[in-house]
Amino acid sequence: MEDKNIQPDQQEDPALYKARFAQLLKRRKMFFGSLIIYIPIMWVMQQLAPKSMLTAFGIWVVIMVAVMLYSALAVCPRCGNYFHMNGMTLLYFRKCLHCQLHVKDNKQS
């Protein structure tokens, strides 16, 4: 497998860097938003139709797996590796697992 690390002397286009960073933040918001919405959905389902809570939970799990895969494949704007994955390990830290770029450091360095 080819290493996608970008050397410090190979600076990218600032517009591409900002686009990748915006995509990373959007995917993180989607993941955490779908995680947080679980409790309100289950409460509403319990109030409306308690017998269909299992179906709602199954739908939520499928959506969560899809969003998790989508967010896990977000590329780090600095190094070009997956931001949240190191090998088969998926960790939602606030820093890139390869180059330690923080999610609040949206300046190209």
| pLDDT one-digit tens code per residue, 42-83 | 999 899 998 888 999 999 999 999 999 999 999 998 888 999
CB 69 within 8 A of CB 56: no
Whether pLDDT at 6 is above 60: no
Q: Where are the domains of the chain?
A: 14-90
Cα–Cα distance, 90 to 65 (Å, whole number): 13
Q: Which residues share a beta bridge with 89?
A: 86
Q: What is the pLDDT of residue 31?
A: 93
Instruction: Give the percent of the chain with pLDDT over 90.
Output: 44
CB 78 within 8 A of CB 109: yes
Q: What is the pTM of this model?
A: 0.74
Cα–Cα distance, 88 to 32 (Å, whole number): 20
